[in-house]
Chains A and B, each alone.
Chain A
Amino acid sequence: MVSRNLVLIVMILGLSQISRAQSPTYGVGRTPTAEEIRKLDISIGPDGKELPSGHGTAVEGAGVFLRKGCFTCHGENGSNGPAPTLIKSDGKTKSPYPCLNPCVNDSNLMSSHSPYATTIWDYINRAMPLTKEGTLKPNEVYALTAYLLYKNGIIREDEVMDAQSLPKVKMPNRDHFALAPEWKHGTPRLQGYP
């Protein structure tokens, strides 16, 4: 009962605060709790401000790669498996699997192509292991990210990846990409293109 009253007080306080800001038109939907937002918000931007605390190294990541069974889909060395290539192949071994379309290897490899290391953290955390996404602990995601960055020659084996160091990793494609121009209603996709 006490807690219900408390909730009511918090709600009234919250409402009075909202009414001071520009008010909504329809008032449909409710305000999520901070905890609800925290649980659902898995987006990690390039500046890494949403990264959780925790840390990991390539050595730890090699262990996670085995323990979590990543190798069963991505191949023992992060290539030549049925799933997208994670680590540049030595070029000597030929994959028994067709490269999935869109073919993710070499220049299209996430470690080579994404300008930010945060993309790797974000994707492992949101999507892997397949059908068990969301089960990896932050330390495991940091370790796996460090492992992939090390194996692709981007960081040293002993570098610790955490919320501070990961956004600072200089990715090979950091200065070699362009975003689409600012979008405006009623403009062709590319001015001057036939």
Chain B
Amino acid sequence: MSSKLSGRRRFLRDSAALVGLAAGVAPSADAQMSHSEAPPKDDKDNKDLIAYGERSRYVKSVRIPVMERMSPDEFGMTFHVLSPLQDSVGMITASSLHYVATHRGSYVPDIDPQEHRLMIHGMVDRPLIFTMDELKRLPFVTRAHFLECSGNRAKATHKTVQQTHGMTSCSEWTGVPLSLLLKEAGVQSGASFVVAEGAETVKGATSLPLAKCMDDCLVCYGQNGEPVRPQHGFPLRLIVPGYEGIHNVKYLRRIKVVNQHYMTYNDYGHLAADSRVAALTRQVGPKSVITFPSGEQKLPGPGFYEITGLAWSGSGAVRSVDISLDGGQSWTPAELRSPAYPMAHTRFGFHWTWDGKECVIMSRCTDELGTVQPTRAEIAKYWNVPNDKDLQIKGLDNSVFGWRVASDGSVHNGLA
């Protein structure tokens, strides 16, 4: 058996050397051998191979804190960290690279799942308390959903797509529909909102419309094939598909059914005098961004490139994505390259042969309701304000965003 294996290995090695020769790469049989036949160097290698795998040491993609507030801050708290969208592929964000935001500053709690409980009470016939094991006995669903922080706003000072759009990510979430738990408890007539609360330092809480909770919210214990990670809410978090990130309560410990908006600390920060602005600070509008080529990347020269990026909407699935190569003058459909699930990141691609001339590339998302991602000019017109550098977009900024590709191949923020 072992001689067979080593024979096969030798064949693979020789083939690899041949491929190297054919491709005009300087062959190094010794190097090939050391890659394919070296035994694990130490115990760490074995652990990695057997117990829990790590990525290649050559892959350097990491999250960074937002520019506007350092992390850790004065209190040792991590506030908001950005996902490296420029390196993203597919539609799912690795949990380790998923953006992180905390409820206006809190520490990540160390929760023993054996001790964790979820209580459902308030305007219900039967208040209920669940252990994690009990929750896992109930019917579950698995769905892909994006999360996005309301502060995910491109500024002229931002250089990379990580800075302009890095506070959105998409995971495969697994959990119990909140509607199932609420029906099990028996919601009383007159109820209209719930208050969802976490178990972290500040007991972050948020008010949610009961209609949304009965529609598609999930009480999740699984993320991307494993338990939700501590920074994302272990052992239990609420997913409110399509709503701004702050509503997706982490470390979920309590759901109280009530008859009015409860105006928690997190709620009042979203208040606006105008109900139109209030609407724009709850559900995420259709949005997209080109992740390649993007800020601080460099095209080596004219030729073929696949433009790619992500599109999403808080109102449903992405129907289509258009690309502009002339700063929004004309638009051509891109291809959707991943499944387009409701309230999930959808990957798009677009064949592009760059002629080496300066241009501004943009993407525009249309969701299943037919709502089209607005340009800054359209938003300015809606509010009847000038479309200039000082334009403050109300609510979550979902405006069309462009990258300027300079003739030397360097890529720059289109707002700069």
Residues of A at under 8 Å CB distance from B? 18, 21-22, 24-26, 28-32, 36-37, 40-47, 73, 82-83, 97-98, 100-102, 108, 110, 113-116, 118-119, 122-123, 126-127, 130-131, 133, 173, 176-190, 193-194
Contacts and interface: CB of A to CB of B under 8 A. Distances in A.
Contact of A28 (B130, B282, B378): B130
Given A126-B202, A194-B381, A173 B271 contact: yes
Interface string B233-262: 000000000000000000001101010111
Contact of A194 (B201, B265, B372): B372
Given A102-B104, A119-B265, A184-B211, A25 B183 contact: yes
Given A21-B125, A26-B184, A193-B280, A115 B268 contact: yes
A131 B105 CA distance: 12
Contacts of B281: 180
20 contacts: A22-B186, A24-B126, A24-B185, A31-B129, A32-B127, A36-B129, A37-B121, A41-B254, A41-B256, A43-B262, A45-B262, A83-B75, A102-B104, A102-B151, A119-B264, A126-B203, A127-B265, A180-B281, A181-B278, A190-B276
B374 A193 contact: yes
Contacts of B73: 82, 100
Given A21-B125, A130-B75, A178-B274, A122 B265 contact: yes
B279 A190 contact: yes
Interface in B372-416: 372, 374-375, 378-379, 381-382, 395
Given A100-B105, A133-B202, A187 B315 contact: yes
A110 B268 CA distance: 8
Contact of A180 (B275, B375, B379, B382): B275
Most buried by B among A47, A73, A116, A122: A122
Contacts of B371: 188
A26 B138 contact: yes
Interface of B: 66, 68-69, 73-75, 79, 104-105, 107, 119, 121, 125-130, 134, 137-139, 151, 180, 183-186, 195, 197, 201-203, 205, 209, 211-212, 215-216, 253-254, 256, 258, 260-265, 268-269, 271-285, 314-316, 369, 371-372, 374-375, 378-379, 381-382, 395
Most buried by B among A41, A44, A73: A41
Contacts of A31: 126-129
B276 A22 contact: no
A92 B221 CA distance: 50
B268 A179 contact: no
Nearest to A84: B104
A108 B406 CA distance: 41
Contacts of A44: 262
Contacts of B75: 73, 82-83, 130
A194 B268 contact: no
A185 B283 CA distance: 11
Contact of A37 (B66, B127, B195, B273): B127
Nearest to B368: A186
B280 A179 contact: no
Contacts of A122: 264-265
Given A178-B273, A180-B279, A183-B211, 17 more contacts: A18-B126, A21-B125, A21-B186, A28-B137, A29-B129, A32-B127, A37-B121, A41-B256, A43-B195, A102-B269, A113-B268, A126-B202, A182-B209, A188-B283, A189-B315, A193-B276, A193-B285
A46 B262 contact: yes
Q: Identify the 9 closest CB pairs spanning chains A and B, nearest first.
A: A178-B275, A127-B202, A82-B74, A189-B283, A194-B374, A194-B378, A114-B268, A101-B69, A190-B279
Given A115-B268, A180-B279, A183-B212, A40 B119 contact: yes
B128 A32 contact: yes
Nearest to A184: B211
A16 B279 CA distance: 45
A18 B127 CA distance: 11
A185 B314 CA distance: 11
Contacts of B263: 45-46, 114-116, 118-119
A37 to B, nearest CB: 5
B278 A179 contact: yes
A29 B125 contact: no
B269 A186 contact: no
A83 B381 CA distance: 38
Contacts of A113: 268-269, 271
B184 A29 contact: yes
Contact of A32 (B69, B119, B256): B119
A123 B375 CA distance: 38
Contacts of B256: 41, 43
